[in-house]
Amino acid sequence: MKKIFETSRRKFMKTVGLSALVSAASGSGAIAMGQSSGPSGKGYDFDEVYPRINSRKWEGAYNTYGRDNIDVAMGTADLDFKQVPAVVRALKERVEYENYGYEATPDSFYQAIIDWNKDRYDQTIKKEWIKTSSALKPGMVSSMRGLNPVKGKVILLTPTYSGFRGAINKAGMTVVMSPMKRVNDRWAFDLEDLESKLDYETKCVVLCNPNNPTGEFWGADEMRALGDICIKHGVTVLSDEIHCDFPNKGSKFIPYASLGEKYANSSITYRSPSKTFGHACLRVAYFFTQNEDLMNATMAGGGHEQGVNTFGVLAAETAFREGAEWIDDLNIYLDESFDYIDEFVNRSGEMPGVKFSKPDGLYLAWFDCNGLKEKVASPEQVRALHDKWRDEGNHRPVTPEMCMQEWIARNVRIHILPGSSYGIGAEGFMRMNIGVSRTMVKMAMENWNKALKTLG
């Protein structure tokens, strides 16, 4: 195992090159290195480049472009940082206890969830409202199945998380997109469009709060306006709050169910420690509603795989109990990375063709690349990529954003995701996962800038 770490670390140091490290270390942007032991004083070192083993994010990029051609994998939303130390200690201890048979989920796990949400969001959740699932999507699939008529429609407010479409298909439902509007550099629900799409076959709207990929932490008024329309039409809001623990400075997460009795009563909330603490492979998520009928329907939907992983339960409970300072420090680090990007992109003359405005939170940077699209993803260039892929036996549809992704991977050596994955409204946008050390963020941005400048 040690060998794998060493090889990938050496490879990273080699590909990053001395210049990137020196410029990062000298703090050529607003942010200097070596400041990552955040305010808690606990010394969490988010600057450390911690190589991943079998990471879907990294291996996926390597498989497509070749191991030697990618410097930073910035796709799939997960974190490259080392784990909360208390979680590592708890897992080691548990591994030493040599029995891994079926286990009951302890009350202390539920209590940790309840306390975390009370402490951070002043949200009261009762144990009897909570159910577990192996990941967030299975819970949502169950709700979709249980709440909709056979082959019913589920509404997505796009651009939004690409995995919802797969979940809706898995539930046997039809995806209906209600594109959001862009108002003053923010995305906003188009309530008229939404209402026009709520018919007798539609019983669920998926709200992504906060929204992946656009980064809004939704405000109370806009969510209430959305909720009022849903309530009027007897539609349940499925509120995915998986990214809620990543607010930037000045942002506040408002749980949908905390908006008032009628909103709590007509919604189901889905959460998970998988994003907050980087526990995706530990397979634990949870969902809750105070409305027993909605929960019964979800249980009847039956796809939620309620059995959870022993190590995941322990990791989640420990992180909820002892990980608050870790995530608070990490949020400061990520916020500074966003500031670095904001300053870099918006400096005059840099990053031609790319626009950026700082999101409310998450660790996903959402770039408006419409200017780049004109240069590297014209209809002829999209056609040429389509033909190339077809000749290689790859029959994926090609979008202009995929064409940009390809150009960026080949010319910048980073893997980022095409806006077209997130549904209607995301034309010309690209998503970058900045849950990596700042050295990597800086290298990605500096190299991207250089490549853009070659285009004239």
Ligand X SMILES: Cc1ncc(COP(=O)(O)O)c(C=O)c1O
Residue ranges in contact with ligand X by CB under 6 A: 77, 135-137, 161, 163, 208, 212, 240, 242-243, 272, 274, 280, 285
Least Å from the CB of residue 245 to ligand X = 12
Least Å from the CB of residue 286 to ligand X = 10
CA 20 – CA 442 distance, rounded (Å): 8
Q: Which two tokens mark 3?
A: 């060998």
CA 246 – CA 251 distance, rounded (Å): 9
Q: Which amino acid appears at position 275 of this protein?
A: K
Least Å from the CB of residue 418 to ligand X = 15
Least Å from the CB of residue 238 to ligand X = 11
Residue 136 vs 445, nearer CB to ligand X = 136
Least Å from the CB of residue 37 to ligand X = 28
3-state secondary structure of 316: helix
Least Å from the CB of residue 324 to ligand X = 21
Least Å from the CB of residue 240 to ligand X = 5
Q: Which amino acid appears at position 392 of this protein?
A: E
Phi, psi of 208 (to 5 degrees): -105, 105
Residue 121 vs 389, nearer CB to ligand X = 121
Residue 135 vs 369, nearer CB to ligand X = 135
CB 142 within 8 A of CB 289: no
Q: What angle do CA 107, 111, 116 make, to 5 degrees?
A: 155
Which residue has tokens 């992983």?
309
H/E stretch holding 207: strand 202-208
Least Å from the CB of residue 272 to ligand X = 5
Residue 44 vs 164, nearer CB to ligand X = 164
Least Å from the CB of residue 331 to ligand X = 17
Whether cis (ω within 30° of 0) applies to the bond prior to 159 is yes
Residue 298 vs 449, nearer CB to ligand X = 298
Q: Which two tokens mark 191?
A: 């309530």
Residue 308 vs 443, nearer CB to ligand X = 308
CB 277 within 8 A of CB 327: yes
Pairing of strands 267-271, 236-240: parallel
Residue 168 vs 345, nearer CB to ligand X = 168
DSSP string spanning 141-182? HHHHHHHSPTT-EEEEEES--THHHHHHHHTT-EEEEEE-EE
CA 302 – CA 284 distance, rounded (Å): 17
Phi, psi of 423 (to 5 degrees): 100, -175
Residue 79 vs 194, nearer CB to ligand X = 79
Residue 163 vs 219, nearer CB to ligand X = 163
CA 419 – CA 426 distance, rounded (Å): 5
